[in-house]
Amino acid sequence: EALAAALGDRVEYRHVNVADSAAVDAAMTAVKDAFGAVDVLINNAGITRDATLLKMEDAQFDQVLDVNLKGVFHCGRAAARIMVEQGAGAIVNTSSVVALYGNFGQSNYVATKSGVIGMTKVWARELGRKGVRVNAVAPGFIGTDMVMAMPEKVRDMMAGKAPMQRLGEPGEIADAYLFLAGAQASYINGAVLSVDGGLTL
């Protein structure tokens, strides 16, 4: 809300539960009504509820699935309906490098991020002919507020896994989204861009 207020009429803030398809549809329609179009969707909502397979409860699995997979589906479908009418648009979904190699204690999270890659490729095939591009970003270990609050030893271990020997910066992920959403990526469709310092080599 503070960011929207600071930027004025160029930004409108809406708090939406992405697991609620009706709420997502209403919000997307409101955006179109306010701005006249929906040009880009950055599909970035996500949560974690970590536990090993033997300890994970159904509720933990379902919560992550509802937000990270069904939420991506709800937002993508709502945006795509408008973009297809426009004959143009770009959707950038958020996956993760863990979808490519797994991660201890994250059966739910990894399943959703793998599913995001699959949906990205399906949507790219379905929507490309209608003028809508769909791609995904797969971030590695990024120095977000959550990560930077971890003990230094843990952060160093994470950074050491990538050949570049450092954590990524949030701005580097934002640049990837900006690239895939923009005109410079006009012939990129169905791609998964890993931004991970070489972690998945």
Express each pLDDT in 68-98 by its tens digit. Answer: 999 999 999 999 999 999 999 999 999 999 9
Does residue 31 lie in a domain region? no
Does residue 2 lie in a domain region? no
115: domain CATH number is 3.40.50.720
Task: Look up the domain containing 97 and give its range.
Answer: 38-195
Mapped onto helix, strand or coil, the DSSP state of residue 21 is: helix
Does residue 43 lie in a domain region? yes
Does residue 80 lie in a domain region? yes
Does residue 168 lie in a domain region? yes
Does residue 4 lie in a domain region? no
pLDDT band at 1, cuts 50/70/90? confident
- Inform me whether the pLDDT recorded for 161 exceeds 80: yes
Does residue 200 lie in a domain region? no
Placement of tokens 């591009």 in the chain? 133
pTM of the model: 0.93
Question: What pLDDT does 166 receive?
Answer: 96
First to last CA, the chain: 39
Domain count along the chain: 1
CA 65 vs. chain centroid, Å, equals 14
Q: Tell me which H or E stretch contains 124.
A: helix 107-127
What is the overall mean pLDDT for the chain? 95
Region for 156 from its dihedrals, namely left if φ exceeds 0, alpha if ψ lies in -120 to 50, beta otherwise: alpha
Does residue 105 lie in a domain region? yes
CA distance 144 to 170: 6
Catalytic pick among 13, 101, 109, 187: 109
At residue 78's C-alpha, the angle toward residues 76 and 84, to 5°, is: 90
Tell me if residue 177 is catalytic: no
